[in-house]
A and B are shown apart, each in its own frame.
Chain A
Amino acid sequence: MTEQGEGRIDASRNGNVPKSDGVPIDAWPQSGSGLLTFASAFRVQWRQWWPYYAMMAPGLIFFVVWHYVPIWEAKMAFEQVRIIPPNIWVGLKNFQTLFASPIFYQVLANTLIISAMKIVFVFPVPIMVALLLNEIRSGKLRGAIQSAIYLPHFLSWVVIAAVFIALLSPTDGAVNQIAQAMGFEPVNYMTNTGTIRWVLVVSEIWRSAGWDSLLYLAAIFAIDPQLYDAAEMDGANRWQKIWYVTIPGIVPTIATLFILNMGMFLSADLNQVINMQNAVNASTIDILDTYVYRLGLSTGEYALATAAGLFKAVIGMVLILVSHTVSKRLTGKGVW
């Protein structure tokens, strides 16, 4: 692929500078070469590559504007915001204010609790769904079930929250009607601080269990069928085959996804919470993201909100990098 000779052949054949990939790598200045060489090499390179940079330009501009300028804007976390600019640099004062406020710890605790609940109760569900789906012999039946349970993955959290509000309504929601038929008192799950976190867990299962099972199912399909045949020869029954062949086969996938989930620990899903939140349940499901949103865009505490956002971003980045590294070490699979 990267033979240097090829470019020279091209160049001599066409008698001009080839347009794609053809320029020999050694057209770049070697170490110790002079400025003149560099300039001429640059010209040669530029003549060949400018169309590609031109095509990439809009994308590069988008990336710089939407991802790198906000990093610069985030310096607000270290400033006192004034109505009449410029802002005053105050160093870590905003962070001190933040870390001194009891609400911040309340919010942090909520975030950690909700994330932990999701890891414990949501994470295993798609694995079980994939194991069950794999046991279905008829491809048509499996396909039908899959197309149905994938659907919620493609709905927005606004829609899912609206569906759950209807589903959990104390007067005419399906859940309470079943509960009442069995002799229980109706519960307003959405405005009950004891149940609302479970609403988050269950709605997350509703949304993602089907679709996430696809990843595990793909891993199961990649397992060598001979292993199953061998297990069968040894007289293994269904559960033994699942336990000794299927599960070991998907452990790397499970590990990767688990570690990645850990990396997202501080992101308890803004879109979910912001749509499920109401005046009554807010105290239990107020997470870092909604706190930043409220502090900044409703209360106007821009500097403090930016500081809280930056705290989350930095911890989140560290968690993702660590989990990526761990994942790569353990399973050879990373995120990128």
Chain B
Amino acid sequence: MSEQEIIAFDRADALVDVPTHYCPGCQHGVVQRLAGELLSEMDLTENTLLVTSIGCSVFLYNYLHVDSVEAPHGRAPAVATGVKRARADKFVLSYQGDGDLASIGMAEIMHCANRGENISIIFVNNTVYGMTGGQMAPTTMIGQKTTTSPAGRNAAKEGMPIRMAEIISQLGGTAFSARVAVNNVKNIRKAKKAMKKAFEVQQKELGFGFIELLATCPTNWRMTPIKANERIEEELIPYFPLGVFKDLTVEAED
């Protein structure tokens, strides 16, 4: 390397050097990159056991240099519990989408958090079922048209979008719960900081670490990636406020 050449940006060691399968503008890639960077920076890669779940995110095991196991739909928190109970010395990471975590897997996530399992869960909320083709999710916004809510989600019939980060923060075993977004550079930086906190509470054995990330699904939202980013700012964040809802490290530092 000559004196003039400075590498300002490189692939983290934890990330496998392959193209991802995600649609243009999808932000799973952004979230997974952040996760990979943190594993590298926190020197966790060789110590991590990953649980992947159903939907677009299942292929995360192809993109991270870690050992991994695949969970049935919604059951990743239970699978992760089994992993952590078997190998308490390992860093256990799980990754779920909104249909997976907030619909079919609602029981598993609530009880995993309540038991205070020392694991970290990354929750990608793009308000829609992605891989199955754009059906309504528990987080779908009121009025949002999907393939199973063609007239738009109706609160009277289908209920209100579920705010998971707030719910999780109410459970006794939760050590950290926050909601972030990955729609612009500023928010992506904040997202990485929050993800790091969710990882750190596991390292400190403080309990359950939960991070919800508002992300785009331009394909199923029928939007350009730029419009999709604008939707996060204008429509999603007002209903799904960003912020930290519980952080035991603050109390621990007091």
A and B: interacting chains: no
